[in-house]
Amino acid sequence: MTTAIPPGMERPHFIGIGGAGMSGIAKLLAGRGAAVAGSDSRASETTAALTALGVTTHVGHRAEHLAGDATCVVVSSAIRQDNPELVEAARRALPVIHRAEALAALLAGTRSIAVAGTHGKTTTTSMLAVALTTLGLSPSYAIGGDLDVPGSNAAQGTGDLFVVEADESDRSFHHFRPEVAIILNVELDHHANYASMDEIYDSFETFVAGIRPGGTLVINADQEGARKLTARLAGRPELTVVTYGEAADADVRVTGLRPKGLTSEVTVELGGEKLTFEVSVPGRHYAHNAVAALAAGVAAGVPAAALAAALASYTGVRRRLQFKGEAGGVRVIDSYAHHPTEMAADLEAIRDGAGEGRVLVVFQPHLFSRTRELGAEMGRALALADASLVLEIYPAREDPIPGVTSALIVDAARRHGAEVTAVPTRNAVPDAVAGIAGPGDLVLTMGAGDVTELGPLILGRLAA
């Protein structure tokens, strides 16, 4: 297992160091002894956790934040070209490295398992990282979310396995050369970067081409896009393909799935062996994520029975159906779901755990481009809830698009018979929830933006 600092990254500066992916890479480099510095638009629990590790963090973006002895600048696709620190890096002719290139450099000399797919990457990567850690294999990992506390999205282990989340959104997963790869699903998303499903398939094929000769691809046998991709990959003798799912032709077949409140129990057949194990989060899609993790770990040489048992030690990841608390008999759970498929899957999963209570959703759309393309489908997904409150669009890195507002989702939801209310501001949400929620109900804050911050405020209002 190599713990060397990649050449040229001895004193890196991260622009946007508080981001989920960026902070993990910064933590890994700091763990290898690099003098890491960076900036973010605001202070957060994540930047505080990095500071505690000895990382120099700045609030705000200013040219003078870039240290005189910086050896490179690390950026994500979200960083604009006019960022003053990026402009200063160009003036000094400093190397500018995309975060995926930095992560790929850290993977060199390891046996890596890369987890890709339109949905479920963070959960599946987390499941595998936790299970391998439970087995004492001390993997390194880089996840697009925190396991339990801020800063727990990455770790430098002492073993030879490195589990990494592989992001397709900007094609950055093309940089990876894994020994084992997982593809959970293939759908059209990230409309600013992909114009068609053909472009999506081409991108995933490029990712698969990066698997090391003799390596293994673990891919979903149930999802249409994944099956089409599998067919496109036929005739590659250097690649072992392992399919998983409930399909009759799956190599790792799910033969049983039993909901147990906010957990579930899954049974699989693998290599002639039947294994039953617990998954700590509800829903069919989370159970399937666990099966993908199991198949990938086995492909990397981990004994199946031991890994299945260890998967039960996974207790969730922040923002993936994370229980936030209970007040006035109302439970509040937070969901990162922002694509219609994810939204529907989480709502169906939560339905099993709600019992006789109602499922109430506070939804914040993420990105103007996604809302323009998928707003109707988002509205259809919200029809699965008993009632929904819809906030305005969280823009993230995008500028507004004329005519694109959350009204597209609200109107679509109502066409599908949903009870939905547009809420103009975040500040109005706690009172709005208190006005409709009652004992036994379950409130789901949903979206990839700052809607996650509303959970504690809702609980405070319900307790008042």
Was 120 annotated as part of a binding site?
yes
Q: Counting Cβ atoms within 10 Å, is residue 417 exposed (0-12), middle (13-18) or buried (19+)?
A: exposed
Was 68 annotated as part of a binding site?
no
Q: What does residue 296 show for φ and ψ, rounded to 5 degrees?
A: -70, -40
Pairing state between β 320-327 and 330-335: antiparallel
Cβ atoms within 10 Å of 376's Cβ, excluding its own: 17
Q: What is the CA radius of gyration of the chain?
A: 22
* Active-site residue identified among 47, 121, 243, 342: 121
Pairing state between β 273-279 and 263-270: antiparallel
Was 123 annotated as part of a binding site?
yes
Neighbouring-strand partners of residue 360: 387, 443
Was 117 annotated as part of a binding site?
yes
Non-local CB neighbours of 155 within 8 Å, separated by 6+ positions: 27, 28, 31, 129, 139, 140, 141
* Active-site residue identified among 47, 57, 110, 122: 122
Is residue 7 within 8 A of residue 33, CB to CB? The reply is: no
260 a catalytic residue: no
* Active-site residue identified among 85, 88, 165, 342: 165
57 a catalytic residue: no
Residue type at 179 in one-letter notation: E
179 a catalytic residue: no
User: Rounded to whole angstroms, what are the CA distances from 164 to 53, 111, 139, 191, 397?
Assistant: 21, 11, 10, 24, 24
Was 122 annotated as part of a binding site?
yes
Q: How far apart are CA 414 and CA 87, in angstroms?
A: 47
Cβ atoms within 10 Å of 457's Cβ, excluding its own: 17
User: Rounded to whole angstroms, what are the CA distances from 15 to 29, 76, 84?
Assistant: 15, 8, 10
Torsion of CA 379, 451, 446, 384, to 10 degrees: -40
Q: How far apart are CA 361 and CA 155, in angstroms?
A: 34
Was 119 annotated as part of a binding site?
yes
Was 2 annotated as part of a binding site?
no
Q: How many CA atoms lie within 13 A of 364 on its CB side?
A: 23
Backbone angle region of 214, left / alpha / beta, with phi > 0 → left and psi within -120 to 50 → alpha: left
Residues with a catalytic annotation lie at 121-122, 165
Binding residue ranges for ATP: 117-123
